[in-house]
Structures are given as structure tokens and as C-alpha cells.
Structure 1
């Protein structure tokens, strides 16, 4: 009798790394992604990998695949994280590798990689089991049918259903319908009010910064950007962070990215539509930085306007991952379980830890119980709540200082 597959909702980082783990463990699986392809939407900013994140990825991939992954990563040296005044260009703070946020990953370097590259590398070998244009809106538990045992089916937006699976893993991000159904609404994601813009420019625009990780801060004294909600009362704090790697610094055909964040009220998309990409977002970024020091102007003057995109800053319950009645056939990973602010750069690193942990537990159950996964979701959720809860609290704590963000009982959810 053929084994029922593990069903995975969503094709993000956590989902694809879990799929890769199952592939290597020879456990059947199916991935359902709502988009038409991996390149359907913008991939967002470059991700910094912590030592924990790298260890998790290495524990999943075979040695040759991990070497290819690590070779694709950028390794940034320099002085660690350097904070600069956006108006004067002066250094206002430094954080060495290994201090504070523990920026270093391996060999004294800050390791980072683009989200799109990560997804592409994780998906290698899994292509035939990944189904695009499949929007999961929920699930139904199935009872024993013709001796096949209990199972679960994913329900799609068009009303159709997946094959029967042994387990469903919700990994479709912070708007996960699987997470809402599983937790009975206990898993919530709050809108912090702060907003951001992601931008890209040729690497030649970054020469004046040199190698390193830089946070450029404008405390917002003076003129307000046109159209801002805070116009007439002082613009409020705006900052960008960027990782300038030594490779490709003189190649105008290669682009680096930067990520801008504004405190609530500073960055506002037209009609509150944060799916807008292109010139509208680029023009606002240029307006907000028009008085910045000439050293930083090329980042905006030379930006690839087509790649500019708005984004909201969100966070799940700051006290940690809530508990819900365990369901042996359904669980959640990544942002579906613990959405985080970008503060500290720990969201993606926590997500890949989920994939490594759940993949290992499923592999062990496959080896010892022949595909009986009873108890796996409970064991996974217990351990995940421990490290993910710490990460959410840390991310939120940093965000309250960096973005002037706050969550209370009146905060909006997404």
C-alpha cells in the first residue's frame, strides 16, 4: 500500500526547505503554492543568515548541495554593523561582529543571500512535486476510508481538494488560513503601523560606502515628504539598512538592495495598497531622502525603479507563540506560526529552524514507526514554541525602539 504524502501549503523558504528534507528522507510529499511560479512576485530584501540559521540549513541539505548554497551566499567583512547619520554622513555607532546582535555567522563574516536564490536552491530536485496556482484556503480531516487510515486534505480556493495526505503543514506565510483554522484564531498577526520600501541599485552606487553592513538613519528633523500623513509636524524617523559585499562592487550589471523603514505615518502607499511596485514607491523613497548626504544619494538616484516595492511591518503576538489544542495531522511553520518584524533579521532564520526540526522528527518517525507520525506535531510544536517565542519577543522588543512600534488590545490584525 502506497504511503500517503505529506501535504505542504505554500512555497516559501520554510516550505521548500522542509520539502527538501522530505525528499532526502524519501518521504512522499506535495507542495501547493498559490503563485504561478517562484518568480511571480518580488522576492524582497537580502536575508542575513545567523549561525543557527546556517546550521539548520546544513543539517537538511546533503554536503554537496550545502556547499553550492554556501558558495552562493555573500560573505561580508568590514567593521560589522556601522550606523551613519543620513544628513551629515558621520558615523554615529558601530557594532562589531560577534557583539550585540551576533552579526557574524561563520569565519568572522556576515553571511547573506537573496530570498529568491534561497527558494531556487531549496527547490532543487523537488520540482515535480511542487504545484503552482494552488491557493490553499483550509483543510478537512478525513476518517478511515477502505483501510487507508485517517488523513487530511487541503482545500483550494476553487473548491477542489488535494489528494489525501498523512499530514498537512501550513507554511503559506503570515496570512495563513491553515494557521487560523488550526489555532482557532489564536495565531494572530498585528499591523505595527510602520511601513517600508525595498529598493535596488547597481553595485557601483554603493562604492562610497565600502564593504560592510550599514544602517543609515535620518531622525526626521525638518521638512516632511509631500503626501505624508505626518506633513507639517516633522517627518519622523526614517532609516535604511544595506549589506555591501566585496564581490561585484564594480559591476554595474549586478544590483545590491537596501531596505527603508519609516516610523508610523511616514511611508504611506496610495489608497493603502502595499502591493504597488515600481515608480510610485521609488519616487517616495527619493523624496524622503532628498536632503541626505551626497555619499548616499547614488543609492536612490541610480535605483532600479521597477524593483521598488512597499511593505508593511507586522508581528505575531509579542509574548510568544500561543498554544492551541494539538492536531496530530496538521501543524504550521515559518511566518504562519511566528511572523516577526525585520528588526534583528531573525525571522527567516527561525523559519529554517522549523523546517530542520520538523523534517528530522518526520524522518525519525519514518525510520522507527514506518510512517506513523503520531506525536510528531506535538513534539515539534513544543520545541518550536520555545525558540520561536524567544525570537518573536526579541524582534518585537527591538522594533519598539527602532520603529516606534507598539502592540496592544486595540492594534489591528492582518
Structure 2
């Protein structure tokens, strides 16, 4: 794989989407790498919702994979017609205007004297275009499940992944860097360490000296799947179902129904549910739980929803249900830190986002494509690469975080400030 027999490997912490797409760049450039993943196997964290791929995300993936492999990836993606969300009142099943439901939610916040949240939500709504276009290529909304995408990006990388290795810190040397694992052992010496290990990244905190923060919005969600036959009453499109009359707080769900599979009960579509802070709580606040505990809460919250949307939850595959915390990085943008030439960060480790707008994964693959291109063009690490990457990344990632947070205020009514809890 290596360009020279003595070239040190690129060390990558985490085996998520951003890390694996970076590895694909290194594979094509024949630059050696090693990936360290805290999970014990791929199947340990197989659950995942469907990701919408933007034009920027698809362009980034295509630039890494090349024409032939990207065509295989493209064929794996689902394509849905329509340019934006179709909004539904979850209780009545009636079509609604998306902006009007958000306006009603803002008014409800005002009535409940949640002034700060209402002001933030109103400001975010006024800065958004009238319709939220989701199409990326050919007028289609392109999506793929997180698990399928991760499996595809893993092709060819399997032998370089070290499972059950949690990176806790790093140690610089005169000519390289070591990853230090949670048990105190070290990796082989690498030429650079790239942290792609998500919101709990210890490397990100060490590198930025605590400047990189991930805030807990307090909002929670549940991912789930159901046979495609449960989606037939909805039909093709991207649907947002909103329940503003739940006494606990606002609940909504999003799903992408693509054509061609709705008569096949062996195929499943996914959905994502989210709610205001305090509405969804995992037993004992354990959000690693999957299966029945998450499924039970999703079913309870939708018990009086309209039949054409209720079926998505009542007929779910219970084993696939999973909780998730809704977090966000500092909305003002990716902070500055002292550049370290041999260590950098990608994906959620540097810019965690809410699910609003579906921006997070698309921004993460842009990181992978950019850093991968810089390393590939240089044949490995040379002076200035991490600085050049971080300067460009800060621009588009800061814009993405601000946009995601702004949309989340109109959907969840959450507010983040310097006094908010971090994770």
C-alpha cells in the first residue's frame, strides 16, 4: 500500500463514515493507514437512520471514490421525487404548511413564556427560504442508510481496522505521533493522527485545549424501521409529521418514502423521531439502549396519531429501535486553536450538528475529501497540510453548524449558550 517501505502510517481514531471515507482516499493514493475503533465489531453499532445526501456531499464522495466505485455507490442510494418536505399533522393526517406549523410552535413558546427560545426560533425562521429544497442531483432527493454507507466505505479497509481500541490521547515525537489507548498501550508511530471518533473524542479536547465543545441540547430522539408496506398510505416523498398537541411537548418524525418497494414486506424503510427536551427519556438515562425500551416509547408517543402515519411506529422492527441524544457544537462556529502539524480532527469530533437540515454527514464527508486530497497530492504528510485543511474546513463547517442550529430552534425550541451542559 505504501509509497515507500519506510513511510509511517496515517493513524485514524474511529471507524465512522468520515474516517472510512478518508481511508478510501488513502487507499487510492497507496498511503498506509491504521484505524482504531472503540467498538468490538461492525455489528456492535449497526443501527442508523437514513441520510440525505446533498450536492456537496455527493460531490465529495465522488471525488474520493472515483467514477467506477462511485457508480456502485450511486446505484446503492435511493432516489425520491419531490423537492422538499411535505408536512402532515400527525393527529389528523391532514397536510399542513411547514412554515405555519413552525409559526404556531413559536407562538406556543411565547405563550409558555419561553421567550429566549421563541426569539431564537423566530429569528431562525425569518432567515430561511420559503421552501426547504432537499433535491441534490437530477431533481431527486438522494438517500442511503447510515449502515449501508458505512459498510460500503469499509470495503478494502477491513484488514487495517483494530477493533476494541479506544483512543484516549496522543503523544508527539520528534518525527511522528503515537495514539494512546484507554488501557495505556500505544499504537505504532504514525505520521499524523486524525480524530474521527465523534462527539466524545478525547483527541479533539486535547488538541484544542478544551476549545472544541459539544453541547447537550436536552432534546432526544429515536431511530426506527418498519416494513415498507407500513408506508403505503403516505406514498412517495419526504414527510415531516408534527404533533403539537402532546401535553409533554412537541414531537415530530421524518421519513423518506422512495418508490418501488412499498409492496415488498421484506424491505424496510427508516424513520427518525425527535422531541422537545424532556419528552423522550431513556430508562435510567441510558441512551445506549436499543430495541424494546426505545420501541415502547415511540409507540406510546404515537398511540393517537392518524392511522396513515401511526403504522410506521406500531409495525416497527423493535430490535432496530435506538435512542440518540441531540447535541450541537458551538453555534458561533468552529473555534480557533493552536495548529498541531501532526494532529487534526474531522466529522462530529470537530462540528457536531443537530439533525435539522440533514447537514452533519454531508459536512463530515467534505472533511474527508478535503484532507484526503491534500494528503494524497503530497504523497503523505508535509508541513502545512493540517493548517490548510483546518482553515478551509472552518469556513464551511461554521456555516453548516449555524444553519443546523438555527433550524433546530424552530423544530425543537432549544437554546445553547455558554452555560449549557456539555457532553
TM-score by length of 1: 0.92
Instruction: Give the superposition deviation at 1:372.
Output: 4.6
Post-superposition offset of 1:265: 1.0
After TM superposition, give the deviation of residue 134 of structure 1 in Å: 1.2
SS of residue in 2 equivalent to 1:296: helix
Q: Which has the higher contact order (CA 8 A, sep 6+)?
A: 2
Query: Aligned residue for 2:163?
Result: 132
Shift in Å at residue 127 of structure 1?
1.6
Paired with 2:293 and 2:273, the residues of 1 have a C-alpha distance of 15
Bigger shift: 332-341 or 287-296? Answer: 287-296
2:248 corresponds to 1:235: yes
Relative distance call for 1:319 and 1:79 in structure 2 (3 A) is closer
Please state whether the residue corresponding to 1:338 is helix, strand or coil. Answer: coil
Is the CA contact 2:83–2:133 (under 8 Å) kept in the aligned structure 1? no
Q: 2:18 aligns with which of 10, 14, 19?
A: 14
Mapped pair 1:84 → 2:88: yes
Q: Structure 2: how far apart are the matches of 1:252 and 1:378? A: 50
Alpha-carbon distance, 1:365 to partner? 1.7
Match of 1:54 in 2: 58
* Counterpart position of 1:338: 351
Does the CA contact (< 8 Å) of 1:38 and 1:116 recur in 2?
no
Distance 1:16 1:318 in 2: 26
Question: Equivalences for 1:196-211 in 2 at 5 Å?
Answer: 196-211=221-236
Give the aligned length. Answer: 390
Once the two structures are superposed, the pairs formed by residues 13-412 of structure 1 within 5 Å of their partners are: 13-78=17-82, 80-93=84-97, 100-143=131-174, 150-221=175-246, 234-366=247-379, 371-412=380-421
Residue-by-residue CA offset, 1:23-71 (whole Å, 9 max, x unaligned)? 1011111111111222211432100000000000000002111011000
Contact 1:16 1:123 in 2 (8 A): yes
Q: Which residue of 2 aligns with 1:231?
A: none
* CA distance in structure 2 between the partners assigned to 1:158 and 1:332 by the alignment: 22
Runs of 4+ in 1 over 2 A off after TM superposition: 98-102
Deviations 1:62-90 (A, max 9, x none): 21110110000000014631000011111
Name the structure with the higher helix share. Answer: 2
CA distance in 2, matches of 1:339, 1:159: 28
Q: CA RMSD in A?
A: 1.4
Q: Is the 8 A contact 2:177 2:193 kept in 1?
A: yes
Q: Which residue of 2 aligns with 1:5?
A: 9
**CA distance, structure 2, for counterparts of residue 200 and residue 263 of structure 1:** 22
SS in 1 for 2:281: coil
Gaps of 5+ in 2: 100-128
For residues 108-133 of structure 1, the C-alpha deviation after alignment (integer angstroms, 9 at most, x for no partner) is 10000011111111111122111111
